[in-house]
Amino acid sequence: MKLEMRKKKTFPFGTISVEDDISIEIFSTRRKAFHSFCVEVFRFFRDILFVLMIFILFGVFIAQPVVVEGTSMLPVLHDGERLLVNKLIYYKWKTFSWARIERGDVVVFWYPKDPEKSFVKRVIGLPGETVEVRNGVVYINGKRLYENYLDPEYNRNAANFPLKKIEEHYYFVMGDNRDNSSDSRYWGLVPEKYIYGKAFFRFWPSNIGFIEKGQYEIKFEDERDFNLVEGAR
């Protein structure tokens, strides 16, 4: 009688083998971990790309960061401050105040004499109005403009500038530091198409917060001003 020695059956995972249950899936834990790692890396870079696209679209169509250079807007804005400007004025949605240019707004625009440079000033005169500066005081259509946002320390010059008629689609701008500002008094009006944003928020290096629109009043200074306007009609 011939005795056959049967080799003892071995199992790849303890006492479990594929033959026990055809629904059991055997896989390599190392390969699975590498696959999971690759999936997470892909998701991470996908999310980074999505965020970058959002920031690019935000910068192109909605807001843009700018840096203040100079002291012409003291004491409201200081040299070196970083601002965000609202670019929605491009779309001319006149229904909303943040999408139109109004008196008292701080705007950023291309310098008409050299469009490669940009300035930041405050809107003083609107299309169709007349602007005149007498003894350092601004008059709109013959009425005095009372500018509560100005600091007397930066407005000691009592200069005179002749009456200027503002054409349609143009604006008259001035710096809050009237003693040290190159603005419409010297080089003329700003075309509407050159204004590319309204400053609304400062975020570095100090005074973080929203930039408020300038508060002002327009009224006759005295009876003499009223008679001058009436006599010119």
What does the angle CA 128 – CA 133 – CA 134 come to, to the nearest 5 degrees?
135
Residue of 72, 181, 184, 198 with catalytic role: 72
Residue of 2, 118, 121, 181 with catalytic role: 121
- Report whether 108 contacts 66 (CB < 8 A): yes
Helix intervals (H) in 133-217: 184-187
The Cα–Cα gap between 80 and 22 comes to: 71
Catalytic residue status for 213:
no
Task: Spell out the residues 6+ positions from residue 87 whose beta carbon is closer than 8 angstroms to its own.
Answer: 61, 62, 63, 64, 196, 197
Catalytic residue status for 32:
no
Catalytic residues: 72, 121
